Amino acid sequence: MPTLVEPKLIAGNANKPLAEAIGRRMSLYRGKSVGLVDARVERFNDSEIFVEVFENVRGEDMFVIQPTSNPANDNLMELLIIADALRRSSAARITAVIPYFGYARQDRRTKARTPISAKLVANMMVTAGIERILTMDLHAAQIQGFFDIPVDNLYASPIFALDIKNQFDDLSDVMVISPDVGGVARARELAKRINAPLAIVDKRREKPGEVAEMTVIGDVTGKRCIIVDDMCDTAGTLCKAAEVLLDHGATEAHAYISHGVMSGPAVGRVTNSVLKTLVLTDSIQPTEAVKGAPNIRILPTAPMFAQSILNIWNGTSVSSLFETDSLGPIYEGIL
């Protein structure tokens, strides 16, 4: 169906390099320039956020690119205020492109008298005028149900599979590892894509952020192990899991993580760990420390997000990008 309006991109300050890269990829796909809408997102002296859009957006299909990563509250408020500014400027549709969805770990009540913050954030986004969400690797799939608007949840596993096939000459001794029981479905998806066996590291936590005990479920002897997870925060669990795998006979330990939160001592832990490589996506803007770490690599998500935005704009399938046949050509020459 022909579209009368152009897709327009606008970005907050959370990950400007990714937003600009998405614009460049869209320009390449369309054969015409797609840049970021001219706007300013600034702070007053008391840290209040102010947004001003300098271009006409009346009747336009707007895509706001803004991961809600650290500082989560500031970046979330930027997203909400940008959406409000666009809604009051008569934009036809507002889609929030949130490569990393903050507050996703607070998706249920784990104890009495605790919030479900992910649901609260969903309500705030809808109230601000956002009509569609495009995100990647939600921490919990049920968060999609927190919204009464369409949610497209992309997956990093197809990108990981393409990279693994390029990086590992022989996949016969490769094994995919889930770092906990809750991540088995994610690990199984990647294992199917590269036709590799699956094992699990069962962990028991005494309290959040601390792991008391780890047990390997499966035989990892002589295997090059690839740990796959949706996020790496302080990297304590990840580095300990790598040590446990080597203690159980694995020859190498690698990790593929969708979102590199990398807070606190994470970079130092990874650099000094037994991990041969840690591969992150750029859903969260990497710090200079992350970029400079010798055993950390960054995979681009701009090609996938650019094609997803174009598919949403055109009214075509986004789920087609879950398949290697569709995503492979987009990443040809990149990975």
- Candidates 203, 240, 276, 291; catalytic one: 203
Is 235 known to sit in a ligand binding site? yes
Is 273 known to sit in a ligand binding site? no
Is 106 known to sit in a ligand binding site? yes
Residue type at 230 in one-letter notation: D
Is 307 known to sit in a ligand binding site? no
Is 105 known to sit in a ligand binding site? yes
Q: Residue 159: how many CB atoms within 10 A of its CB?
A: 27
Is 234 known to sit in a ligand binding site? yes
Is 229 known to sit in a ligand binding site? yes
Q: What is the 3-state secondary structure (H, E, C) of the chain?
A: CCCCCCEEEEECCCCHHHHHHHHHHHHHHHCCCCCECCEEEEECCCCCEEEEECCCCCCCEEEEECCCCCCHHHHHHHHHHHHHHHHHCCCCEEEEEECCCCCCCCCCCCCCCCCCHHHHHHHHHHHCCCCEEEEECCCCHHHHHHCCCCEEEECCHHHHHHHHHHHCCCCCCEEEEECCHHHHHHHHHHHHHHCCCEEEEEEEEEECCEEEEEEEECCCCCCEEEEEEEEECCCHHHHHHHHHHHHCCCCEEEEEEEEECCCCCHHHHHHCCCCCEEEEECCCCCCHHHHHCCCEEEECCHHHHHHHHHHHHHCCCCHHHHCHHHHHHHCCCCC
Active site residue 192: no
Report long-range pairs for 266-270 (Cβ below 8 Å, ≥24 apart): 266/232, 266/233, 266/234, 266/235, 267/235, 267/293, 267/296, 269/234, 269/235, 269/236, 269/239, 270/235, 270/238, 270/239, 270/295, 270/296
Is 48 known to sit in a ligand binding site? yes
Distances (CA, A) of 240 to 10, 124, 217, 237, 246: 40, 37, 15, 5, 10
User: Which of the residues are catalytic?
Assistant: 203
Which residues does the annotation place in the binding site for D-ribose 5-phosphate?
Answer: 205, 229, 233-237
Which residues does the annotation place in the binding site?
Answer: 46-48, 105-106, 139, 180, 205, 229, 233-237
Which residues does the annotation place in the binding site for Mg(2+)?
Answer: 139, 180
Which residues does the annotation place in the binding site for ATP?
Answer: 46-48, 105-106
